[in-house]
Amino acid sequence: MDLTSLPAAPPFALRARLLTPLDAGGSRHEPDGLLVVDAAGRLTFAGAAAERPAEADTALDLRPWVVLPGLVDLHAHLPQLPNAGLGAGLDLLTWLERYIFPLERGFDEAEATRLAPLAWQAFAAAGTTTALVYGAVYEASLEATFRAAEAHGIRAIVGKVMMDRITYDATIDPATILDRTLREAADLIDRWHGRDDGRLQYAVTPRFAVSCTSDLLRESAALARSTGAYWQTHLSEDRGEIEEVARLFPEASDYVDVYDRAGGLGERAVLAHAVHLSDRELARLVETGTRVAHCPASNLFLASGVMPLARYLEAGLTVGLGSDVAAGPDLSIFTAMRVGAYAKNALGVAGYGTGHMMTPLDWLRMGTLGGATALGLADRIGSLEAGKEADVIAVDPSFVAPIPGVTDDDPVDLVSRLVYRTHPDMVRAAWVRGRRLEGPAARG
């Protein structure tokens, strides 16, 4: 395939192998499929080429590539990307001090202007077309990060990290930090939340309970509620962190209760990790419709723990996948699927499994439609179905063949190779609303 012939903007039609989860459940696999994208970047057809022979004849033929819905990353830290893969063997709080806070402290407007465009390209290269992301603590840095997302074309939900208990921004008077961080977040919401017909959105982002007072947690949740922005933070990642939260918030009955008392729980809240939940905490998250970003590669990298995914799914929790770069070493959501599957197997082997099986197609669903559902965007994205926006990736399966020429006709086998033999260059193209993103195939 000549990459320069790939469409840069809608309208267009692609003929390819097609595989997607479906809103109604199950999935659709068309060995000879057709995607038709209208001028507004919406899918008007996603199905068998034989049903639309005239359009199939003139469509750009990508076969044997496969088109999939773009991946959804529910948790990543954009300023941390340069340190991805560093600091193995440290606990969470030590790792933050040594590898993360210095990087975030230096992520000012100039650094964001330089790095954010490259970071968005890296997300797209991994196949991620929607990302829920933490920025740095500086308003101007977030402006630059949003500007880069606007120009790049990725679907991005970004938030300025808020901290008023411990912070790396020495320029702010501690007495004014709460008012200032709330005002800056409100300014950013004014300018960016809902921009480009909702492609860019804002997430109010208190870092986590350890670095935030109950005032900041409460006020940030109120800001998210009053503006319709998302609210994201970390929950129950590491045993040391949980003990520290219990010490700092003696009035709360447990970690979830800290956020509950702040008014943070609900369908617009995405909490990362949630590794060590009690039955009460799990039930409360389900009851409030709160979303969880499962970040298995990060949880094993930092030895935080293994999230009991099967128990959570059986309880009815809405779960999507997160890379959690840089605690997760890899931006690829296929890597999150693979490590999540290994972690789930390890729990089972150790006697903690519940027998709940997940096939490769179930993991693909969690990394696409599951993430879209967690964000309340399943009516727009997450699957390749007529009426949705054309957030699409094209993958060349030859990159994951164990021996050249080995192919997989069965869709479960195909996704199994993509998950268990992920190659950094296998995503050859990515589109959001039919607009092609820079990043994939940049290395040849």
Q: Which residues bind Zn ion (CB under 5 A)?
A: 324
DSSP secondary structure, 110-163, as one string: HHHHHHHHHHHHHHHHTTEEEEEEE--S-HHHHHHHHHHHHHH--EEEEE-EE-
Rounded CA-CA distance 35/44 in Å is 8
Q: Is residue 373 a contact partner of residue 320, using CB atoms and an 8 Å limit?
A: yes
Taking the complex as a whole, the smallest distance from the CB of residue 75 to Zn ion amounts, in Å, to: 6
Q: Phi/psi of residue 10, each to 5°?
A: -75, 160
| Residue matched to tokens 């918030």 | 249
Taking the complex as a whole, the smallest distance from the CB of residue 298 to Zn ion amounts, in Å, to: 7
Taking the complex as a whole, the smallest distance from the CB of residue 95 to Zn ion amounts, in Å, to: 11
Taking the complex as a whole, the smallest distance from the CB of residue 295 to Zn ion amounts, in Å, to: 7
Q: Which residues pair with 60 in a beta bridge?
A: 14
Q: Is residue 320 a contact partner of residue 293, using CB atoms and an 8 Å limit?
A: yes
Q: Is residue 368 a contact partner of residue 70, using CB atoms and an 8 Å limit?
A: yes
Instruction: Select 34 or 277, whichever has its Cβ closest to Zn ion.
Output: 277
Taking the complex as a whole, the smallest distance from the CB of residue 97 to Zn ion amounts, in Å, to: 15
Taking the complex as a whole, the smallest distance from the CB of residue 16 to Zn ion amounts, in Å, to: 34
Instruction: Select 99 or 420, whichever has its Cβ closest to Zn ion.
Output: 99
Q: Is residue 3 a contact partner of residue 426, using CB atoms and an 8 Å limit?
A: no
Rounded CA-CA distance 313/353 in Å is 13
Q: What is the CA radius of gyration of the chain?
A: 21
Instruction: Select 143 or 324, whichever has its Cβ closest to Zn ion.
Output: 324
Which among 162, 165, 184, 185 has a CA at the least distance from the CA of 174?
A: 165
Taking the complex as a whole, the smallest distance from the CB of residue 81 to Zn ion amounts, in Å, to: 12
Taking the complex as a whole, the smallest distance from the CB of residue 293 to Zn ion amounts, in Å, to: 8
Taking the complex as a whole, the smallest distance from the CB of residue 94 to Zn ion amounts, in Å, to: 15
Instruction: Select 273 or 435, whichever has its Cβ closest to Zn ion.
Output: 273
Instruction: Select 205 or 422, whichever has its Cβ closest to Zn ion.
Output: 205
- Alpha-carbon dihedral sign for residues 308, 310, 315, 321: positive
CA 351 to chain centre: 30
> Phi/psi zone of residue 24: left (φ > 0), alpha (ψ -120 to 50 degrees), beta?
alpha
Instruction: Select 104 or 219, whichever has its Cβ closest to Zn ion.
Output: 104
Instruction: Select 164 or 324, whichever has its Cβ closest to Zn ion.
Output: 324
Taking the complex as a whole, the smallest distance from the CB of residue 323 to Zn ion amounts, in Å, to: 9
Name the residue number minimizing CB distance to Zn ion.
324
> Phi/psi zone of residue 14: left (φ > 0), alpha (ψ -120 to 50 degrees), beta?
beta
Q: Cα–Cα distances in Å, from 69 out to 173, 196, 320?
A: 46, 20, 14
At 396, is the secondary structure helix, strand, or coil?
A: coil
Instruction: Select 76 or 415, whichever has its Cβ closest to Zn ion.
Output: 76
Instruction: Select 374 or 384, whichever has its Cβ closest to Zn ion.
Output: 374
Instruction: Select 13 or 326, whichever has its Cβ closest to Zn ion.
Output: 326
Instruction: Select 324 or 391, whichever has its Cβ closest to Zn ion.
Output: 324
Taking the complex as a whole, the smallest distance from the CB of residue 96 to Zn ion amounts, in Å, to: 10
**CB-neighbour burial class of residue 28 (10 A; exposed 0-12, middle 13-18, buried 19+):** middle
**Residue 333: Cβ within 10 Å count:** 34
Rounded CA-CA distance 405/440 in Å is 23
